[in-house]
């Protein structure tokens, strides 16, 4: 990667608030999302290995993570002392195939005779069995094996002693493997298959979990949002295929970066898909009828005429910015008990979000808001963040130096308004009012994904249990029940559902628990 490209990629990650690319093209075993369906496959096959079932088959379409699942199986069974041999080049035939198996078991022999290589493998398996060891051979891309090679695999599976299989064999391949095994020539091999599993694509609900799992693993703290219409479009275009989802989402993040937004909508998904598949653009558009085409031409012509007319009128107007303040106490937002109310409404919705003049005047209400928290030295960058929506670097700096975390909400209760110094502001970028406040959170989440363990996770489990949203084990490990509890709470609180315990979620949760405590 060139220096320029590397800088652009890092700039994109910095803007998105991510440590690394959450959707790489190359499979990641460590960061792989194991859905409930895949967990069942792992359990079944690992049981088959330990129970010495003999012959097993795992199939699935391209891009569903079969190779990653295979390597996960190897890691799990090797932890239990199982000796493994992985063959991933299925161009091997005859003696080369068995040599490849022996080589991965760590066995070498000068002889190239089939009988010698077979005897070498048999002696190895017998010795391991005598020591109480189990052995497993995994062959990836097995659909590429010819009849003769598959017959050799059957011969190896016959190796046993005292009625116990000396080696377990797992064939991993595309759906064509099943058709191959169903052939008349391989009926003996087909009859020996004890376990047969198929990897399936993500369901729409699993797709949502997968996307936020990968984003959160890469450092996202609920900042990146994916609209429901975007999720539906991603699923329609990828059908839940891991590889296709990663390709599309990688491009979606870049398009979002170009559009200066942290919210992925349907339009961004379509634009990303067209970037990846320009020839498929016509598939996303419905053919226009003759009348529709004429209507569009007339509309464009009318728009040109209107544009010229309105330009003449607008040349006599000036760009005016005004600030409105409440006229009575009913609209005031209290800065805690008996504190000054703060409110600002920005009426200039025509100004470009990044067009902050060097001499822009910071509204008094913003100044007072920051002064209440003793953050007056952040007036300029905070006002710029209000206008541009780029809060991440500023809020991280404020939190690091003061312990204050900024919370931005679309709605706040009267109780919150009375308890905290709250600023109501309408920026050009967002187009609707938002409420801002600072607080010192009792716990922070930097990691939140399946099977992650930490003290903060245990605290969250206890907090969710107090409001009857979590009934699982208090083990400090992120699981499906805790993920669901976070989602349910965000829905109840009217927050964007991200599945991540971000600052908004934790703030409202702590506030609710404090109210319950005071009531009792």
SS (H, E, C) 496-519: CCCCCCCHHHHHHHHHHHHHHHHH
**Cα(81)–Cα(41) distance, integer angstroms:** 20
The DSSP string of 418-480 is HHS--EEEE-TTT-SEEEEEEE--S---S---TT-B-HHHHHHHHHHHHTTS--S--SSB--H
Q: Is the pLDDT of residue 511 over 70?
A: yes
Query: Among 62-66, 86-90, 231-235, 291-295, which stretch is predicted with the lowest mean pLDDT?
Result: 291-295
Q: Hey, do 3-28+203-284 and 455-519 end up sharing a CATH topology, with the first three levels equal?
A: no
Sign of CA dihedral 150, 243, 21, 400: negative
Helix, strand or coil, per DSSP, at residue 264: strand
Q: How much is the pLDDT for 317?
A: 35
Quick one: pLDDT band at residue 332, thresholds 50, 70, 90? Answer: very low
Q: How much is the pLDDT for 387?
A: 83
**CA distances from residue 342 to 145, 212, 331, 355, 372 in whole angstroms, order as listed:** 73, 36, 10, 25, 11
pLDDT in tens, 435-469: 999 999 998 887 787 678 889 999 999 999 999 99
Averaged confidence pLDDT in the chain: 81
CA atoms within 13 A on the CB side of 362: 18
What CATH number does the domain located at 455-519 have? 1.10.101.10
> Which fold, 36-199?
Rossmann fold (3.40.50)
Q: What are the residue ranges spanned by the domains of the chain?
A: 3-28+203-284, 36-199, 338-439, 455-519
Which residues fall within 8 angstroms of residue 513, CB to CB, at 6 or more apart? 463, 466, 467
pTM (two decimals): 0.59
Distance between start and end Cα atoms, the chain: 61
Q: Are 58 and 172 in contact, with CB atoms under 8 Å apart? A: yes
Q: Which CATH number fits domain 3-28+203-284: 1.10.8.60, 3.90.105.10, 1.10.1060.10, 2.60.120.260?
A: 1.10.8.60
**Cα(415)–Cα(490) distance, integer angstroms:** 19
């Amino acid at each position: 990667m060139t220096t320029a490209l590397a800088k652009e990629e890092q700039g994109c990650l910095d803007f998105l608030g991510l440590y690394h690319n959450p959707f790489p093209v190359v499979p990641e075993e460590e960061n792989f999302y194991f859905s409930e369906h895949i967990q069942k496959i792992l359990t079944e096959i690992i049981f088959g290995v330990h129970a010495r079932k003999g012959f097993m088959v795992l199939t699935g379409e391209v891009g569903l993570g079969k190779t990653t699942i295979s390597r996960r199986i190897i890691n799990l069974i090797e932890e239990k002392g199982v000796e493994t041999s992985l063959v991933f080049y299925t161009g091997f035939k005859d003696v080369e195939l068995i040599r490849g198996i022996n080589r991965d078991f760590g066995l070498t022999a000068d002889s190239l005779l089939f009988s010698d290589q077979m005897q070498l493998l048999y002696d190895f398996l017998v010795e391991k069995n005598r020591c109480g060891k189990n052995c497993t051979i995994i062959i990836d891309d097995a659909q590429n094996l010819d009849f003769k090679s598959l017959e050799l695999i059957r011969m190896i599976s016959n190796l046993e002693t005292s009625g116990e299989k000396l080696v377990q064999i797992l064939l991993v391949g595309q759906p064509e493997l099943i058709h191959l095994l169903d052939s008349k020539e391989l009926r003996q091999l087909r009859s020996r298959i004890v376990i047969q599993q198929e990897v399936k694509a993500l369901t729409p609900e699993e797709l949502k979990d997968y996307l936020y799992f990968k984003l959160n693993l890469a450092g996202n703290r609920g900042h990146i949002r994916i609209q429901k219409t975007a999720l539906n479009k991603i699923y329609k275009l990828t059908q839940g295929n891991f590889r296709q989802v990663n390709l599309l989402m990688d491009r979606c993040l870049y398009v979002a970066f170009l559009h200066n937004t942290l919210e992925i909508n349907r339009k961004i998904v379509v634009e990303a898909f067209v970037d990846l598949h320009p020839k498929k653009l016509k598939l996303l558009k419905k053919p226009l009828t003759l009348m529709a085409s004429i209507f569009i031409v007339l509309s464009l012509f009318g728009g040109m005429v209107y544009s010229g007319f309105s330009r003449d009128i607008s040349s006599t107007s000036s760009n005016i910015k005004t600030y409105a303040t409440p006229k009575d106490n009913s609209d005031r937002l209290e800065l805690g008990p008996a504190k000054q109310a703060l409110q600002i409404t920005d009426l200039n919705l025509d100004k470009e979000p990044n067009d902050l003049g060097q001499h822009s005047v910071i509204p008094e209400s913003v100044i007072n808001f920051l002064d209440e928290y003793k953050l007056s030295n952040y007036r300029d960058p905070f006002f710029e963040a209000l206008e541009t929506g780029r809060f991440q670097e500023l809020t991280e700096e404020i939190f690091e130096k003061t312990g204050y975390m900024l919370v931005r909400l679309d709605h706040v209760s009267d109780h919150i308004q009375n308890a905290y110094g709250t600023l109501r502001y309408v920026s050009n970028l967002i187009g609707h009012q938002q409420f801002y406040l600072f607080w010192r959170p009792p716990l922070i989440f930097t990691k939140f994904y399946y099977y992650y363990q930490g003290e903060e996770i245990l605290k969250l489990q206890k907090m969710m249990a107090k409001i009857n949203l979590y009934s699982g084990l208090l083990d400090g490990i992120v699981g499906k029940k805790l993920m669901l509890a976070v989602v349910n709470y965000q829905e109840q609180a009217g927050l964007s559902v991200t599945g991540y315990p971000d600052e908004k979620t934790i703030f409202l949760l702590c506030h609710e628990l404090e109210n319950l405590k005071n009531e009792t």
